[in-house]
Structure 1
Amino acid sequence: MTPSRYAPVDHPGATVPEGRRPWSVTWPQYAPVEITPPELRPSALARHVPGWAEGHVTPEQVSDWDQRRAGALVPFNLDERGWPLHPHGRTGRTGRNLGKWGENQAADPIVIAGTGAQRSVLLITRDDIGVEAIPGGMVDPGETAPAALVRELREETGIDLADQRPVILGRQVVADWRTTDHAWVASTSALYRLPEQVTATAGDDAADAGWFPFGSLDQLDAAVTAAGRTLYAAHRPLLLRALDHLNQNGRS
């Protein structure tokens, strides 16, 4: 069921009990909150399609679902209408606040400098929601994830690591703030190691860029909080994965 009334894009959505999150569980009364922003609503798309978005008003208008599913970082299914279903189940939100219906691929470079007590991680202050996050962003059409990792890092921090080969940490759905039942973000996260900090300059999509101590997630949290800022919740699992990799491989 899709309500006709739109809610603010930051609406938390309808409450979804854990037992009713799986799509395999029947829930006739499910009423997700519609959070499509004004520029992606049918009347607006009829006049102008933003350069970052596809013009399809609903997923039924998408003709290449076989191709999209084959190239997905995380497998997903379609419902009886041909609409894509979030791989983790119901979100309590519907509509689209991302460029594409279904999976939107992102690249998140995690840059670590130094070792031991001097180890630090590079973060940016996102200019859209004002939180501390990994520098990264969406993969452009026709672009590979490795190329996107280098481009996003360069655009957002001014740091060029094109000559380095990172360790791919994983490919997973992230809890992006724009997520809905039918549009979500899946990220390729990668780890870069530098011997010491280099100068970072805030650029595209970043209000600030800088280094924070990274001995543990608790230490990072404390440093970010001390700076009067908040760590982006969606990136916490990615940062934890980076820490696990460093610890398991004996790289202090």
Structure 2
Amino acid sequence: MVSSTALSIIGALFFVAGAAAQTAPQYGQCGGQGWSGATTCPDGWSCTVSNQYYSQCLPGAASSQPGSPTTSPGGGSPTSTSSSPSGTSTLTPGNSFIRAVEDPNFHKYLRSEVAGTASDAVLGEPNTAAQFQITAGQLVQLVPDGSKLYATVEPRANSTVMKLKMSWSESPASGANAGTFQWSGDTVEWSIPTIQRPQLNAWLICPDAAGNKDVYINLGPYDYQTPAGCADETIHAYTGATATP
């Protein structure tokens, strides 16, 4: 007769085996510390490490195994693996690139619309990627000349407004509309006590009349009731040596 303890162990083994046999969705989580879900990606996709807590199914060949992130010097920023360098900007230790990881903005990088100036926040190509830190709740862009730019978010005019435009300022964000930027794993979040958001890491990319990919904070539900012309995104730290496509 098999004991109840043995049956429990056998059941747990079958559960783990079943989870491992499942296939994670495209751009879905596939690994990380404490992850018990699917670890296999669809054909043509690989489980790519973002940090010790999160690995994601991304297009192409694997750069590393789930749960084995490459660490980067400097501290304070999430770590990720990198593929062959192809960007022109070399990451300074302690900084991070920030990029989207979903179509139609896959591996488009955060920057100023006019590079290195106080202008709209946009996503651009890898060879124009800016570098960032999050310090005391401020999202800080490090400009090559040694100066700093600070992310600011427009105030919400009324409760019907569901997206807030982000731009760069030469002065730190302050006052009732400043809000707080923070890392959650490798994901950038923004919160403010006066607004309740369904998802703190929900962003929108909405092209302007000139085709610039303007960055907005999404106050509504992610991937639902998306404003016309916009795309839902999350934006993530990347600490490879250079910004890569």
Whether the TM-score (by the shorter chain) exceeds 0.5 is: no
Higher normalized contact order (CA 8 Å, seq sep 6+, divided by chain length): 1
TM-score (norm 1): 0.29
Give 1 or 2: higher helix fraction: 1
